[in-house]
Structure 1
């Protein structure tokens, strides 16, 4: 059986990769288990040195890897190269700060300390939308903590998957520290259940995360879930208007509008709503849609034909349910998976397109009258990944931050991940944290050592 990667810009097959059969899966799981024992004894300094070499290689190969990312999932080349360089930054950060995150913690008042020890082989199910950063942001601190890693990457980015495995070997990692598992979804449950797998992590849809968590729970294994989102972007009348408009467009349409932390619901105070709507729509209309290898392109194709079909279905249903389509909203008549960026207003928060996560270039605008209404609208979602608040009022910021049901709140900015800060959500967006000190310790045994 082959795993096929297709160029979403032209709809042509790039490569068909052989998948791993049961014997190959067994060999890789056993190697991960064996390597975990020796890797746990490698000093923190040696692990950090590998991360520094990894960072250097990522910088050196940024253009090469960026082109591969664009070829397989269609994001604009400038964003793809930036993704690789962000991964390099993450590797350097954890090489420098990770040992402190994992240092033993004395407990005040007791002759005791907490030490952070590796769990063993960690199985990761990773998505296609950020094929380098999503994998490396998990792998880097997890390996630094002394774990080994097995990654089931998305079928559609197997070129990236194989490049990552070779990259980490090139950085000096031992065989078995990082391994790609070229398997389909049906093989996941058995791998999670394998007695040699210590824990699992999923970045992907809520449905996929719940399925993996169910198996992990049955076998008493820890799982970290970073799942979908429908992030609110809340703009009060006292916000920096121009900056808020431009940032809303960036947040919604970056990465070809295929991001869990995109600003999917844009809530605007009624006093500035009409002006905001006009400015936002004009900015969206001005987005250059086209060849993702062209440096001037701002919005490339969606990653798969099915995403175009799903987005078109959601937009059509939204209009029938009372939404007002202000621009775009149709697939473009050209080769590849192109969809004209859309803006919809006038929807209720009960509309399916609002309740669901939309993974295409569609922004939804909502009007609110009061702070209380803005909070209620923001929380009227099963998701709870991130939120953005635009205001100059410090008292309002303090009030609203405590009321928002999300894993992160960004003030006068847009939601994004950073190696220095923990990242994750609540509600249907998952649980557990990646990145920062919390994320570095997430997949460890926080062992208490108590001395009488």
Structure 2
């Protein structure tokens, strides 16, 4: 079996990569298992030195890696470069805060400390939509804690997968600290059951996450899941209107509208609803679509043909359920997997299609009359990854933010991950945290060491 990388802007195959054989998989796991002994024995400061060097290399190679990302998943070049630079910043942040995050923690009033030690070999199952940042935000704190990782990256971004493995080796990580594993998804459960795998982390669809959690549960292994979202973007009438429109556009359509933490359901107070829809649709209609390597392009193609087909199906289902397409609503004719920025109003929030995650350039608009109704609409989903609240009334914004069922809520801003802050969700969006202090300690054994007088 071969994994195919296709340029989504043209639909043309650019490379194919062989799958690892059963013998190769066993050798990869054995090497990682052996590497953990020496890697975890290093002082955390030494592991931090590798991350500092990784940050430097990512910055030096940002243009090359950005071009690779564009070729495999289609995001605009500037965004792809930003993704690499963000990963560099994450590596530098954890290198600089290694002792703060992972040093022994005294237990107040006792002679004990909490000592954070590594678990072993961590299997990471990663998606295609942020092919560098997603992988590295998992790897950086996990490796800093003394773990080693094996990454099953998405089949369509194997060029990026191999580039990440190489840059980590170039940064000084010994063999086995990071290894790319090219296997089909139907072989993942057997790998999770391998006694040498200590824990699993996965980012992907809710369905895939449940399958992975089931396999990990059978083996009694810890699992961390980030499973997407249908984030609400709640706009009250006293919001900074122009900013709420502009950043609502940024949130929905960045990364070619293929981000788990993108705003997807816009919940707008009725007194400004029509005005907001008009302004938002006008801004969406003005987004430049085209070759993602060109500086003027703001929206590139969807990453895969099946995502384009699913977006078409979702829009059709929304219309059948009473939705009205204000702008967009169709693919761009010609080569590549392009779809026009789309705004839909009038959809019954209780319709089955309203509960799906739209992983394409589609914004759903819903009006509300009261604060309670806004909260109810925002929480009327199985997902709970992120959310945004827009109001210049700080007390109201804080009150609503506190009641949204989400892993992160941004007030007067759009949701995004940050190396300094824990990232993850609740409900159907998964559990566990990446990044920040919680992320640094997520895949560790919090061992109590109690020293009597």
One fold, TM greater than 0.5?
yes
Return the offset for 1:432. 0.3
Return the offset for 1:352. 2.7
SS of match in other structure, 1:292? coil
Tell me whether 1:136 sits opposite 2:132 in the alignment.
no
What are the ranges of 5 or more consecutive residues in structure 1 without an aligned counterpart? none
Quote the Cα distance in structure 2 between the aligned partners of 1:52 and 1:64. Answer: 20
SS of match in other structure, 1:123? strand
Q: Which residue of 2 aligns with 1:355?
A: 355
Quote the Cα distance in structure 1 between the aligned partners of 2:163 and 2:187. Answer: 22
Contact 2:45 2:98 in 1 (8 A): no
**Cα deviations by residue, 1:65-115 (Å, 9 ceiling, x for unpaired):** 000000000000000000000000000000001221001110111111100
Question: Where does 1:60-209 land on structure 2 (aligned, <5 Å)?
Answer: 60-209=60-209
Contact 1:98 1:437 in 2 (8 A): no
Return the offset for 1:118. 0.2
Q: Which residue of 1 aligns with 2:236?
A: 236
Tell me whether 1:39 sits opposite 2:39 in the alignment.
yes
Q: Which residue of 2 aligns with 1:293?
A: 293
What are the ranges of 5 or more consecutive residues in structure 2 without an aligned counterpart? none
Return the offset for 1:380. 0.2
Q: Which residue of 2 aligns with 1:398?
A: 398
Contact 2:311 2:358 in 1 (8 A): yes
Contact 1:318 1:352 in 2 (8 A): no
SS of match in other structure, 1:198? strand
Cα RMSD, aligned residues only? 0.7
Tell me whether 1:283 sits opposite 2:287 in the alignment.
no
Quote the Cα distance in structure 1 between the aligned partners of 2:352 and 2:304. Answer: 22
Compute the TM-score of the two structures, normalised by the length of structure 1.
Answer: 0.99
Quote the Cα distance in structure 1 between the aligned partners of 2:360 and 2:177. Answer: 35
Q: Which residue of 1 aligns with 2:379?
A: 379
The number of residue pairs the alignment matches comes to: 452
Q: Which residue of 1 aligns with 2:212?
A: 212
Contact 2:44 2:98 in 1 (8 A): no
Return the offset for 1:46. 1.2
Return the offset for 1:12. 0.4
Q: Which residue of 1 aligns with 2:222?
A: 222
Return the offset for 1:401. 2.1
Quote the Cα distance in structure 2 between the aligned partners of 1:97 and 1:68. Answer: 30
Return the offset for 1:215. 0.8
Quote the Cα distance in structure 2 between the aligned partners of 1:182 and 1:440. Answer: 26
Contact 1:226 1:431 in 2 (8 A): yes
Q: Which residue of 2 aligns with 1:426?
A: 426
Quote the Cα distance in structure 1 between the aligned partners of 2:181 and 2:50. Answer: 22
Contact 2:119 2:445 in 1 (8 A): yes
